[in-house]
């Protein structure tokens, strides 16, 4: 059993095809098959089931795939860490996140990190969801993922950084624009714009509303919060979004952000395969971003519900 055997097996499980992996590795399908057969002979179990449209791992194959992915990911990170130590403070930090996260959460941290580590390359891979971030962490040589935190995922370690209260973004001429707050039950009466149904943030929103006995009507869903607010500004509906850091002192132009304090805040932060295997540079970047988010602190989790002070703060 070699690392090449395990890497090839993981690639086959991910692609569901021996031929696709052969093309990816620029080798023959027979060579790919030999890697898998060597593992099966040594372990004495069948690892793949062949079907007309490709292959899928057996129950034993899934066990090996999970363990091998964790182990090889740790080895890859350790090798990179050693190489970066040899090079000094050079190297790269690779981050996967959503399209608007850098602007909303990392802008100051990126500038600070660049000043401290001018020789380090920051490489961002943009994806459309937290699930895509998890998949990218598992499949690629990435260090960090900035995500909306939800249920724990096997093989991924989570670290919350900031909490975001929910708000309703409405046009300035909307009847709700002058309100200090919106109750969850009132959301069911509007034409809403929300995160996609399969997203972590929408799942949490539906769960919280369900506990309050509120079911959302048919809604427009968009993949990022900036687009949701833009559609609200254009009059397509009211957007249920978290109050992002850049909106704390002054909301987006053309809309008012009205708090929905009965909904628990949305938690966002870092996801990694293993914190103790991160390179010093990746850890430094994660800490730098967290430091710049720290002034936001736990305050968003304590939304005023009587005097409307938060409403005044986010709308002015």
Whether residue 316 is predicted with pLDDT greater than 50 in this model: the reply is no
Q: Is residue 73 predicted with pLDDT exceeding 70? A: yes
Mark 149-171 as b/e (b = at least 16 C-beta within 10 Å): bbeebeebebeebbbbbbbbbbb
Q: Is residue 232 classed exposed, middle or buried when 0-12, 13-18 and 19+ CB atoms within 10 A define those classes?
A: buried
Looking at the DSSP assignment, which residues form a beta bridge with residue 48?
57
**Model confidence at 305: pLDDT above 50:** no
Please report the pLDDT score of residue 314 as a whole number.
34
Domain 3-69: CATH class, spelled out: mainly alpha
The H-assigned helical ranges of 143-294 are 184-187, 200-211, 225-233, 280-293
CATH 3.40.190.10 fits 74-162+267-299, yes or no: yes
Kindly tell me the burial class for residue 20, based on how many C-beta atoms sit within 10 Å of its own C-beta (0-12, 13-18, 19 or more): middle
CB atoms within 10 A of CB 215: 10
pLDDT value of residue 52: 79
Residue 300 pLDDT greater than 50, yes or no: no
With H, G, I as helix, E, B as strand and everything else as coil, classify residue 170.
strand
Place 291 in a pLDDT band, splitting at 50, 70 and 90. very high
In this structure, what is the dihedral angle of CA atoms 261, 263, 269, 274, given to the nearest 10 degrees? 150
User: Model confidence at 307, in pLDDT bands (50, 70, 90)?
Assistant: very low
Residue 260 confidence (pLDDT) = 93
Q: Give residue 258's pLDDT.
A: 93
Please give the average per-residue pLDDT across 91-98, as a whole number. Answer: 85
| pTM of the model as a whole | 0.64
| Cα–Cα distance for residue pair 266/71, rounded to 1 Å | 32
More confident residue, 1 or 40: 40
CB 255 within 8 A of CB 176: no
The distance in angstroms from the start CA to the end CA of the chain is 64
In sequence order, the 6+-apart residues with CB closer than 8 A to the CB of 300 are 162, 163, 164, 165, 243, 265
DSSP H/E element including 38: helix 29-43
Residue 89 DSSP class? S
Q: Hunting for tokens 């971030």 — which residue is that?
A: 133
How many angstroms separate the Cα of 204 from the Cα of each of 40, 148, 187, 197? 42, 10, 15, 10
Average pLDDT of span 48-68: 88
Instruction: State the sign of the Cα–Cα–Cα–Cα dihedral 130, 136, 137, 142.
Output: negative
Where does the chain hold its CATH 3.40.190.10 domain(s)? 74-162+267-299, 164-265+303-315
Averaged over 96-115, what is the pLDDT? 88
DSSP-derived pairing of the beta strands 220-221 and 255-259: unpaired
May I ask the CATH class of domain 164-265+303-315? alpha beta
């Amino acid at each position: 059993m070699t690392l090449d055997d395990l890497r090839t097996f993981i690639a086959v499980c991910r692609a569901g095809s021996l031929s696709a992996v052969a093309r990816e590795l620029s080798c023959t399908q027979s060579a790919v098959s030999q890697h898998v057969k060597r593992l099966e002979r040594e372990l004495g179990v069948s690892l793949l089931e062949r079907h007309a449209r490709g292959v899928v791992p057996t129950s034993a194959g899934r066990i090996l795939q999970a363990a091998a992915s964790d182990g090889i990911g740790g080895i890859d990170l350790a090798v990179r860490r050693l190489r970066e130590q040899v090079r000094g403070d050079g190297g790269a930090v690779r981050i996967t996140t959503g399209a608007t996260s850098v602007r909303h959460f990392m802008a100051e941290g990126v500038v600070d990190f660049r000043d401290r580590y001018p020789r380090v390359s920051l490489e961002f891979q943009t994806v459309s969801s937290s699930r895509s971030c998890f998949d990218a962490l598992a499949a690629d040589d990435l260090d960090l993922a900035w995500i909306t935190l939800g249920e724990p995922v096997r093989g991924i370690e989570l670290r919350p950084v900031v909490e975001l209260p929910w708000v309703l973004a409405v046009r300035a001429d909307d009847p709700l624009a002058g309100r200090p707050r919106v109750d969850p039950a009132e959301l069911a009466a509007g034409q809403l714009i929300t995160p996609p149904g399969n997203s972590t943030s929408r799942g949490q929103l539906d769960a919280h509303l369900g506990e309050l006995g509120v079911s959302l009507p048919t809604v427009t869903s968009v993949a990022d919060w900036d687009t949701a607010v833009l559609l609200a500004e254009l009059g397509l509906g009211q957007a249920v979004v978290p109050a992002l850091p850049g909106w704390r002192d002054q909301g987006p132009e053309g809309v008012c952000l009205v708090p929905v304090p009965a909904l628990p805040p949305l938690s966002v932060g870092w996801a990694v395969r293993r914190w103790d295997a991160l390179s010093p540079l990746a850890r430094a970047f994660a800490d730098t971003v967290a430091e710049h988010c720290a002034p936001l602190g736990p305050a968003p989790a304590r939304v005023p519900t009587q005097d409307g002070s938060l409403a005044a703060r986010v709308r002015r």
